[in-house]
Amino acid sequence: MKRSMAAAAATVAVGISLAACSSSTSSQSSASDLLTGASPTGVTLTMWHNTADSQALLDLYKAYEKASGNKIVLVNMPQSTFPTAVQTKWATGARPDILEWHGNEDDAESLNIAQNAIDLSSMAFVKKEGTLAQLAGNIDGKTYAASIGFPSVWGIFYNKKDFAKADLSAPQTYADLASDCTVLKTKDAGVSPIYMAGGDQWPTAVLAGFDYMAQYNVGAAYDKSITSDSAKLTDASGPFIAGMTAAEALDKSGCFNSDATTGTWLNSLKAVLNGSAAMVAQSSDSIAILDSDASSATVDANVGFAAVSATKSIANFSPTPLGTYYVPKTGNTTKEKAAIGFIKFITGAGYAAYVKESGGIPTLSGTAVPPLQELWAEVEKAYDAGAALTVNSQIPGFGNFGPVAAELFAGQLTPAQAASKMQAYYLQAQTAMGS
């Protein structure tokens, strides 16, 4: 079974206010009534969607409109500020009819999904999703989201030509990143060894923690040690501080782009594609963006993917927000039923065409795998080799890690101080959840 963006850059204060605002008006119909029967037609549905959606997803929305007779009005949530934009709007009490959102438990909890969205556990797609349904939008064993996008697999994208010019092989560890940086600065002057997108904040968490921590979170081991209070983020000899220390050392060694504090996710992908940056720590969700900037053949000729962790070649993964959908409770039975019809369509009649157009890896069993782009094949290989769950997935309050890591790279915090901040956010979030 294939399972499948990004760490949220929202403050814990927003998360707490979300919990306070979670009493969305519920539909008077029972869940079983909503999940069965024909979908209404002539209905206009609003969808909060990530502007990083691929053309295949946008075409899937159009296919649903044609098949159903309903209309989807897309409310754009900018990819650069996606988590904050959604959480801030949600906190006002506003609700879309369809919500595209992260599948991570922590992110789902931040919107109090168990109270504010319809339980989809009895729908046919859940069995086809297999273990993914136990992760994406799953709260206390109930599945609230349909995830048709392959999981976000995190690692290092690298420019093949830059590496060939410097006579380097793909990195596997943080020691490799450091040594590759030294070589690249010597043999490939003018190229930034690593692109840091500090302007968008959330990408800073990838190098500072996600990738480094992968080997420690196999089987969600590190997440469980934190949530069981057998370990703390502030442990001086723990992997959390070690990861930030290793990433900080790369920064101090001059491995980052000169505009690291203002660089953006989109520019980081352009840079690794054109070779002005040799590496960027990112997820497979970036492939659609790369493919929108050049043909897939050009992307494959220039960009490779490597699984990198502290001392081992291990990738990490999380349910992607791109193609993960919830049906919020709005109190409008007709629209709720139509939104359920959308879920049925994208996981049923419309799914095979979406997979074929996207060229991605299916998340629903029984679906033919299309010919894979070379870069996607590298991602799948890293995933199948035993990718670990991304460390932010199950630790409450971890949505704050991006901004905290940005402060680390800006020289405003030491690794120990950053860990203290994150430990405080974790405890606050636990309290807000009533834990």
Could you report the per-residue pLDDT of 185-224, keeping only the tens digit for each?
A: 999 888 999 999 999 999 999 999 999 999 999 999 999 9
Same structural domain, 334 and 420: no
pLDDT at 31: 61
Judgement on whether residues 188 and 237 belong to the same structural domain of the protein: yes
Q: How would you classify residue 36: left for phi > 0, otherwise alpha for psi between -120 and 50, otherwise beta?
A: beta
Please report whether residue 377 resides in a domain: no
219: DSSP letter = G
Query: Above 80 in pLDDT, residue 107?
Result: yes
pLDDT-based confidence at 30, cuts 50/70/90?
A: low
Residue 383 falls within a domain, yes or no?
A: no
Residue 378, domain member (yes or no): no
Question: Can you give the pTM of this predicted structure?
Answer: 0.84
Mean pLDDT of the 126-132 span: 94
Query: Domain with 147 in it: what CATH number?
Result: 3.40.190.10
Measure Cα distances from 243 to 22, 63, 357 in Å. 35, 44, 38
Pairwise CA distance, residues 196 & 14, whole Å: 26
Same domain, 78 and 23: yes
* Predicted confidence (pLDDT) at residue 163 exceeds the cutoff of 80: yes
The answer to whether residues 54 and 26 touch, using CB atoms and an 8 Å cutoff, is no
pLDDT for 28 equals 38
Higher pLDDT: 76 or 12? It is 76
Q: Is the pLDDT of residue 70 over 70?
A: yes
Longest dimension (CA), the chain: 67
> Is 385 a domain residue?
no
3-state DSSP assignment of residue 79: helix
Q: Judge if 37 and 178 occupy the same domain.
A: no
Burial of residue 334 (CB within 10 Å: 0-12, 13-18, 19+) is: middle
Contact 170, 257 (CB under 8 A): no
Say if residue 315's pLDDT is above 60.
Answer: yes
* Total domains, the chain: 2
User: Has residue 331 been placed in a domain?
Assistant: yes
**Residue 304 near residue 161, CB atoms below 8 Å:** no
Domain for residue 374, yes or no?
no
Q: Does 327 share its domain with 304? A: no
Mean per-residue pLDDT of the chain: 91
From first CA to last CA, the distance across the chain in angstroms is 32
360 and 326 in a common domain: yes
Same domain, 79 and 194: no
**For position 327, what pLDDT does the model report?**
98
**Do 26 and 86 sit in the same domain of this protein?**
yes
At 166, the pLDDT band (50, 70, 90 cuts) reads: very high
203 and 323 both lie in a single domain: no
Q: Whole domain around residue 337: which residue ranges?
A: 12-151+319-364
Residues 19 and 101 in one domain: yes
pLDDT at 435: 53
Query: 426 and 307, same structural domain?
Result: yes
Domain boundary among 364, 379, 398: 364
Residues 126 and 136 in one domain: yes
Q: What share of the chain is helix, strand, coil (3-state, %, to 5)?
A: 50, 15, 40
SS3 338: helix
